[in-house]
Structure 1
């Protein structure tokens, strides 16, 4: 077990969770409710969809089609299995294996691009700029992004995020980036603490304990790092969270 691939450990941990990042049905609904109007059957892209938690919510909230994009086949396999179980056809949910930074869609393909907890992989402003051409004129983008909620975080929080995501911004700086990227901000929604716990950190703690039993020291580095992230959030309440940014493409 000593040569266990750390990424495989991380992936197995994530596959055991109901969500692959902070979020909830209520927060997805709150962000969606900010959209002023969509076509009757909108074309939607869910980028970095993971196992599809937000994709299935978007299907429930609209009569459109969701193109669910993720780079990792095991996530898409779970999404496809759920779609089959729930009787959701590809006319409503189209899984696509793809890189968010090298999308192959036609320009102006989507009425709405949605992405929960994934745009950081590209960088907030760069991601918005690179995705803009896929949005129809006057169309919408909604993303959740880890964001500082205070100008004076603890040193522990600052050190952790400087290492993990040094480009993490504030709501104000992200709103400026939205304007530079060619969008008009419609609104923001800060994910409450329970969105980190209920379907993410609490089941993750249980999953970590189970994986320690299975893999022992071979998985310890990955599992300890995840525990450290949980402990940091627990000990630094209100200093950072994911924030939904809902915006319209300007032309």
Structure 2
């Protein structure tokens, strides 16, 4: 027979816990003549049995039910399901901690954070030691700070010799320029890349052009192209971020951003760039949009991952009007504009895939090419010509 303190020591529970167990009927001591209770070996065994059941995730109430009657399979099945869910959550927690220590990949985590907190995500990446250029590239391209350097080295190798970094054509640049309803003396081009559109704008206007990109080699190629076209005197380059522009308010008649506003998020870009336009100034952007309200599951899944802000043309137009713009024109890029980007890219990928078989960057590009071949038409690029409201 055991006194309550001896029973507590025997089973590793506190005296208060044992008093509670007795209160709810899990153990039953025998009161002695002196008023103290004594407990038997059966009570010890009963408590060990309870501890084993609790180790399976059962509550005290469920343990009592198991001890008093036949174990209900549904109860155990429900508890097993909850335990599996808890294990899955803890496994995700472990994977995240391991990845943050450099022992795994962080892709899914970066994608999740960027979807729910994009601005905070960018700030956090910069605080981890990435400059803004690489933080943006990590956000949109590598999506894993542990493998970012290798990913970007491979990505750069693919795109280095390609002039186009997104869908477009000279004809459609001219088509958009023709819709600008004002006399243009100053142009700010954001995300200019290697300057294909820059040269077209310079050759077909008399404006002074400020071309902005965060890739210095691209700007060097832009100026080479400008010299070849004889327009270099009207072009100034600025290597920096489109998210932090050093220009005075109302400095430009026209802001041009082909396939680059997505980096900031299109609604945010429209709002932030607006104050750089003069009254009645014009913003021209091209952006990826849904062409259907019911895309196939595979293409929906791909773009939800690669471009979480993807919406329809109608929604973009509503966002533009809400931001204080008047819609001058909106048109879809032609299939030829897509071919101008994807055909050279596919040739480049085929040239490199044997020697870059293990490259995550190359695999991601190949996945995008497959989506392009199989689903173009369910999505597309749309050009928006927007005029700043006179009321602003």
- Counterpart of 1:35? 180
- Counterpart of 1:234? 373
Mapped partners of 1:118, 1:30: distance in 2: 18
The answer to which structure has the higher strand fraction is 1
CA contact (8 A) 2:199 2:225 kept: no
The answer to which structure has the higher helix fraction is 2
- Counterpart of 1:127? 269
- Counterpart of 2:99? none
Which moves more between the two structures, 164-173 or 202-211? 202-211
The gaps in structure 1 that reach 5 residues or longer are none
Greater RCO between the two (CA within 8 Å, min separation 6)?
A: 1
Task: Report how many aligned residue pairs link the two structures.
Answer: 244
Mapped partners of 1:14, 1:7: distance in 2: 10
The gaps in structure 2 that reach 5 residues or longer are 1-146
Give the deviation of 1:46 after TM superposition.
Answer: 0.7
Structure 2 SS opposite 1:141: strand
Deviations 1:154-198 (A, max 9, x none): 11110001001111111111011101211111110101122111x
- Counterpart of 2:364? 225
CA contact (8 A) 2:199 2:231 kept: no
Deviations 1:104-131 (A, max 9, x none): 0111110000000000000011000000
CA contact (8 A) 1:27 1:189 kept: no
**What is the aligned counterpart of 2:341 among 200, 225, 233?**
200
- Counterpart of 2:133? none
**What is the aligned counterpart of 2:330 among 175, 188, 200?**
188
Q: Which runs of 4+ in 1 moved over 4 A?
A: none
Distance 1:236 1:92, change over 3 A: same
CA contact (8 A) 1:148 1:168 kept: yes
In the TM superposition, 1:81-120 aligns within 5 A as 81-89=224-232, 91-120=233-262
Mapped partners of 2:149, 2:214: distance in 1: 21
Structure 1 SS opposite 2:298: helix
Deviations 1:31-61 (A, max 9, x none): 112112224xx10011000001111110111
Give the deviation of 1:234 after TM superposition.
Answer: 1.1
Mapped partners of 1:8, 1:101: distance in 2: 24
Structure 2 SS opposite 1:21: coil
Give the deviation of 1:4 after TM superposition.
Answer: 6.5
1:14 matched to 2:159: yes
Give the deviation of 1:235 after TM superposition.
Answer: 0.6
Distance 1:3 1:21, change over 3 A: closer
- Counterpart of 1:164? 306
- Counterpart of 1:66? 209
Mapped partners of 2:148, 2:297: distance in 1: 34
Mapped partners of 1:128, 1:245: distance in 2: 11
1:178 matched to 2:320: yes
CA RMSD of aligned residues (A): 1.7
Give the deviation of 1:81 after TM superposition.
Answer: 2.1
CA contact (8 A) 2:199 2:229 kept: no
CA contact (8 A) 1:183 1:249 kept: yes
CA contact (8 A) 2:203 2:231 kept: no
Structure 2 SS opposite 1:184: strand
CA contact (8 A) 1:30 1:189 kept: no
Q: TM-score, structure 1 length as denominator? A: 0.92
